[in-house]
Amino acid sequence: MGGLSKKAFLTKQLAADSNRPALIVNSGNLLFPADVLPPENMAAAKITAAGVIEANQKMGGVVAGVGSRDLAAGISFLRQRHKPDGWSWVSLNLVDPGTGKPVLAPVLWRQVNGLKVAVLGLADHTAVRAEAETQALAWRDSLPAVLAEVQGKADFILLLSNYSLPDNQDIARSHDAIDLILQSGHVVGNMTPLLVNKTLIAQTETRGKYLGVLDVNWNGHGRWQEGEPSSPAATEGKTSVFANRFVALKLSVANDPEVEAVVRQTQRQLDQQRRGLQ
Amino acid sequence: MNNTNNRRGKNRLQPVLAAFCLLALLSWGGAEAAELRFIYANDNLGELDGCG
């Protein structure tokens, strides 16, 4: 059975460490294989996408950034599945062309082990197709105002970015306040955390083949250092210490029964949809 | 006479103020310390059964 149920098994195990509470996030391009889908494939793609969201929610995921491919079925598909108490899509630069206001949540606030974490989202404005309902603003025009609003209130700022690595490096150099950028798109393969200014930038391999696990001993905004987050030196230190690893979703990994049921149900719906077409 | 007393009073207060500032700084820095874990992924691309 599918990769999502293996991902769920590993995610639940990794999130069960009571000494290190977890935030489970997806940085974008979660739902669809391309920016534009052939009309004949759209119905099946929407069924699959709905199953993917439900599975990610059941494994403890709470938030996703919006990649250009997530918009293949239109912004309304995401808005219908944006539930602030359950699953949130964050994007600060996808706006209503008429009002200029964000069409999704610009920021999600989560309390993790006593820290106020602000999760921001940016879609790559150069990759997003023009749509009547939404328009993507450049990060330089949209990010500063949101950052100014959150940086005094947040202990930790995480940006889920669909921009390329050079753009994310520019963002990190321009804005000291961002602690971590998790990116989507543009890179093939796992990318170990890269320190740019005061920001770590990381990304996993595509198609759900790996999970990224970033353990942090947070000692306040400022300096990062790679090391063992639970060591006495890290606890007493003046810098924030991180350790990152990528966990492969091998065939030998067990399946999570709850998410396996979601995958099976989704596959049944896909079969019914295909039979309806014949 | 009064000026001398004021000066003595200020001198007595200085160590107290310094200790208060130090404690405030220490507690401000320590309040943020915490361990946490980010579990992250990207570009799932609508895969139900992609595997490594």
Q: Within a domain: residue B8?
A: yes
Interface contact A206-B42, CB threshold 8 A: yes
Lowest mean pLDDT among A40-54, A96-110, A135-149, B38-52: B38-52
Interface contact B49-A69, CB threshold 8 A: no
ipTM of the complex: 0.96
A122 bridge partner residues: A161
The nearest CA of chain B is from the CA of A99 a distance in Å of 30
Using 50, 70 and 90 to split pLDDT, how confident is the model at B1? very low
The nearest CA of chain A is from the CA of B31 a distance in Å of 9
Q: Which domain holds residue B13?
A: 1-47
Sign of the C-alpha dihedral computed for residues A116, B30, A196 and A234 taken in this order: negative
The overall average pLDDT reported for chain A is 94
Nearest to B35 among A1, A33, A217 (CB): A217
A240 neighbors A225 (Cβ within 8 angstroms)? yes
Name which of A64, A80, A72, A82 is nearest A121 in CA terms: A64
| Interacting residues of A140 by C-beta distance below 8 A, sequence separation 6+ | A174
Name which of A47, A55, A49 is nearest A5 in CA terms: A55
Q: pLDDT for A128-151, tens place per residue?
A: 987 878 999 999 999 999 999 999
Using 50, 70 and 90 to split pLDDT, how confident is the model at B31? very low
Nearest to B36 among A29, A33, A113 (CB): A113
Residue A171 backbone phi and psi in degrees, to 5: -60, -45
Q: What's the confidence (pLDDT) of residue B29?
A: 42
Both tokens of residue A244?
Answer: 């990152």
Q: Which residues of B touch A49 (CB under 8 A)?
A: 46
**Burial tier of B35 (Cβ tally within 10 Å: 0-12, 13-18, 19+):** buried
B36 bridge partner residues: A216
CA nearest to A35 within chain B: B45
CA–CA dist A66, A94 (Å, integer): 9
Interface contact A214-B42, CB threshold 8 A: no
Q: What's the confidence (pLDDT) of residue A188?
A: 74
A18 neighbors B14 (Cβ within 8 angstroms)? no
Using 50, 70 and 90 to split pLDDT, how confident is the model at B17? low
Q: What's the confidence (pLDDT) of residue B25?
A: 46
CA–CA dist A15, A22 (Å, integer): 5
Share of chain A above pLDDT 70, in %: 99
Q: What's the confidence (pLDDT) of residue B32?
A: 58
Residue A22 backbone phi and psi in degrees, to 5: -110, 150
| Interacting residues of A90 by C-beta distance below 8 A, sequence separation 6+ | A63, A64, A65, A66, A104, A105, A106, A107, A108, A119, A120, A121, A160
CA nearest to B36 within chain A: A20
Q: What are the sequence ranges of the domains in chain A? A: 3-12+21-277
Residue A127 has pLDDT above 70, yes or no: yes
Q: Within a domain: residue B2?
A: yes
Q: What's the confidence (pLDDT) of residue A93?
A: 98
B37 bridge partner residues: A22, A215
User: Domain A3-12+21-277, CATH 3.20.20.10 — does that match?
Assistant: no
Q: What's the confidence (pLDDT) of residue A2?
A: 54
Lowest mean pLDDT among A2-11, A16-25, B19-28, B42-51: B19-28
Interface contact A3-B37, CB threshold 8 A: no
Q: Within a domain: residue B33?
A: yes
Length in residues, chain A: 278
Interface residues of chain B, partner chain A, Cβ below 8 Å: 29, 32-52
Q: In total, how many domains does chain B have?
A: 1
Q: How much is the average pLDDT of A93-107?
A: 95
Q: pLDDT for A144-198, tens place per residue?
A: 999 999 999 999 999 999 999 999 999 999 999 999 999 998 877 899 999 999 9
Q: What's the confidence (pLDDT) of residue B47?
A: 87
Beta strands in chain B (DSSP E): 34-41
CA–CA dist A1, A260 (Å, integer): 7
- More confident position, B14 or A26: A26
For residues A191, A196, A200, A205, the Cα torsion angle rounded to the nearest 10 degrees is -10
Residue B28 has pLDDT above 60, yes or no: no
Nearest to A210 among B45, B48, B52 (CB): B52
3-class SS shares of chain B: helix, strand, coil, % to 5: 55, 15, 30
Interface contact B38-A158, CB threshold 8 A: yes
Please report the number of interchain residue pairs, chain A to chain B, with beta-carbon separation below 8 angstroms.
179
CA–CA dist B10, A157 (Å, integer): 43
Euclidean distance between the first and the last CA atom of chain A, given in angstroms as a whole number: 26
Using 50, 70 and 90 to split pLDDT, how confident is the model at B51? low
Using 50, 70 and 90 to split pLDDT, how confident is the model at B26? very low
Give Cα A16 distance to the centre of its chain: 20
Give residue A220's identity as a one-letter amino acid code.
G
Q: What's the confidence (pLDDT) of residue A133?
A: 86
Q: Within a domain: residue B5?
A: yes
The nearest CA of chain B is from the CA of A5 a distance in Å of 8
Lowest mean pLDDT among A182-191, A241-250, A265-274: A182-191
Q: What is the DSSP letter of A178?
A: -
Residue B2 has pLDDT above 60, yes or no: no
- More confident position, A57 or A235: A57
Q: pLDDT for A211-241, tens place per residue?
A: 999 999 999 998 999 999 988 877 777 899 9
Q: How much is the average pLDDT of A67-73?
A: 96
Name which of A214, A217, A215 is nearest A203 in CA terms: A214
Q: Which residues of A touch B34 (CB under 8 A)?
A: 112-115, 217-218
